[in-house]
Amino acid sequence: MDWPENKDFAFTIFDDTDNATLENVKPVYDLIDDLGFRTTKSVWPSRGNDKPIFGGDTCEDPEYAGWLLELRDKGFEIAYHMNTYHSSTREEIIEGLQRFNEIFGHNPDSMSNHTGCADDIYWGPSRLSGLNKFVYNFLTGFRNSASFFGHVEGSKYFWGDVCRQFIKYCRNFVFRDINTLKQCPFMPYYDPEREYVNNWFASSDGAHLGEFNFLLKEENQDRLEAEGGCCIVYTHLSCGFHEDGRLDSEFVTLMERLSKKNGWYVPVNRLLDYLMEKNGAHKLSKSERLKLERRWLADKVRNARLGKRKNK
Ligand SMILES: [Zn+2]
């Protein structure tokens, strides 16, 4: 892949807003900003009115919204993480997207589903097809088998048509490989079996501080650079990166090291726009879909085992 501006590779972050407050994420963004990275911060446009699984600040908190605008003005992308931290109906979703547009002056380009929201789109087993769907249901004890309705016409949580109208990129599969493009070389891609999402993208798993630092360890950074690859880390910057008034020192060291390399550090939407321009709008074939799903399931199974070993 030829990267713009003679860069050797590309790196960015999609930050899931779970648990994020101005207090716990601003110091993390101050560092990211100082080091010259431009990344993607997801938000909840609306304050919830029910108990969250994971809560956090929303765009209805004026101080937080003011800070988000500062980030936007510096060139960070503000993205969508569903309407709020619990399920929302179609009407609430439309109202939330209007609020997003009023605050930021545009619709969100990219999004990710939030855990446990009934309005999640093509989530749970609906991420998968055929036998892969059965394997997923079996592995998860069928507990997600009828929970997500964002793409289900007639449901009060249906907003697929709105998603297609407003949102360009939706995150799906996440892999434990720093080179996201190696795992999903044709992203962003359109899946004809999931017509309400314009384009999907994959990510590299840096869910929390430990996983993030492991993903960005020195040898992985060097490999990303050598492969001329592209990394979109999916993470939660509220989870451990800044605690007890200070940033995690390993995180700081790794990010400083990465910032000194000749990488292209732009937000997720800009990176995907570029890949789209280079690769064209890729239409996922049946065999590509099955392979991608199988690789994701295998990655999940393998790492669940690895995770257990690491905890011992
Ligand atoms: Zn979330």
Asked whether residue 82 is assigned to any structural domain, the reply reads yes
**Model confidence over 246-257: pLDDT tens digits?**
999 999 999 999
Task: Return the higher-pLDDT residue of 299 and 265.
Answer: 265
What pLDDT is stored for residue 135 in this prediction? Answer: 86
Asked whether residue 299 is assigned to any structural domain, the reply reads no
What pLDDT is stored for residue 134 in this prediction? Answer: 87
- Average pLDDT of the segment spanning 49-57: 88
**Residue whose tokens read 């769907």:** 133
Please give the model's pTM, rounded to 2 decimal places: 0.95
Asked whether residue 291 is assigned to any structural domain, the reply reads no
Query: Rounded to whole angstroms, how far apart are CA atoms 295 and 91?
Result: 37
- Ligand 1 centroid from CA 155, angstroms: 22
> If we measure between CA atoms, which residue out of 72, 141, 133, 139 comes closest to residue 100?
72
Residues in contact with 298: Cβ distance below 8 Å, sequence separation at least 6, in sequence order: none
Domain count, the chain: 1
- Ligand 1 centroid from CA 106, angstroms: 22
Asked whether residue 155 is assigned to any structural domain, the reply reads no
Asked whether residue 142 is assigned to any structural domain, the reply reads no
Classify each residue of 133-168 as buried b or exposed e, where b means 16 or more C-beta atoms within 10 Å of its C-beta.
bebbbeeeeeebeeebbbbbeebebbbbebbeebbb
- Ligand 1 centroid from CA 157, angstroms: 17
- Ligand 1 centroid from CA 84, angstroms: 10
- Of 116-120, 138-142, 226-230, the one with minimum mean pLDDT is 138-142
131 burial level (CB within 10 Å; 0-12, 13-18, 19+): exposed
* One-letter-per-residue 3-state SS of 170-230: EEEEEECCCCHHHHCCCCCEECCCCCCCCEEEEEEECCCHHHHHHHCCHHHHHHHHHCCCE
- Ligand 1 centroid from CA 3, angstroms: 30
Asked whether residue 105 is assigned to any structural domain, the reply reads yes
- Ligand 1 centroid from CA 57, angstroms: 12
**Residue whose tokens read 């609906």:** 126
- Ligand 1 centroid from CA 18, angstroms: 5
305 falls in which pLDDT band (50, 70, 90)? low
302 falls in which pLDDT band (50, 70, 90)? confident
Asked whether residue 65 is assigned to any structural domain, the reply reads yes
- Ligand 1 centroid from CA 147, angstroms: 16
- Ligand 1 centroid from CA 79, angstroms: 12
What pLDDT is stored for residue 307 in this prediction? Answer: 45
> If we measure between CA atoms, which residue out of 66, 118, 67, 63 comes closest to residue 93?
118
- Ligand 1 centroid from CA 17, angstroms: 6
Asked whether residue 302 is assigned to any structural domain, the reply reads no
Q: What is the CATH number of the domain that holds 75?
A: 3.20.20.370
Domain that holds residue 54: 4-117+161-280
**Model confidence over 142-194: pLDDT tens digits?**
777 778 999 999 999 999 999 999 999 999 999 999 999 999 999 999 999 99
Q: Supply the DSSP string of the chain, one letter for each residue.
A: -PPGGG-SEEEEEEE--TT--HHHHHHHHHHHHHTT---EEEE-SS--SS--SS----TTSHHHHHHHHHHHHHTPEEEE--SSSS---HHHHHHHHHHHHHHHSS--SEE---TT-TT-SS-GGGGS-HHHHHHHHHHTTTTTTT---TT-TTSTT--HHHHHHH--EEEEEEES-S-HHHHSTT-SEE-TTSTT-SEEEEEEE--SHHHHHHHT-HHHHHHHHHTT-EEEEEE-TTSSSEETTEE-HHHHHHHHHHHTS-EE---HHHHHHHHHHHH--EEPPHHHHHHHHHHHHHHHHHHHHHHHHHH-
- Ligand 1 centroid from CA 261, angstroms: 30
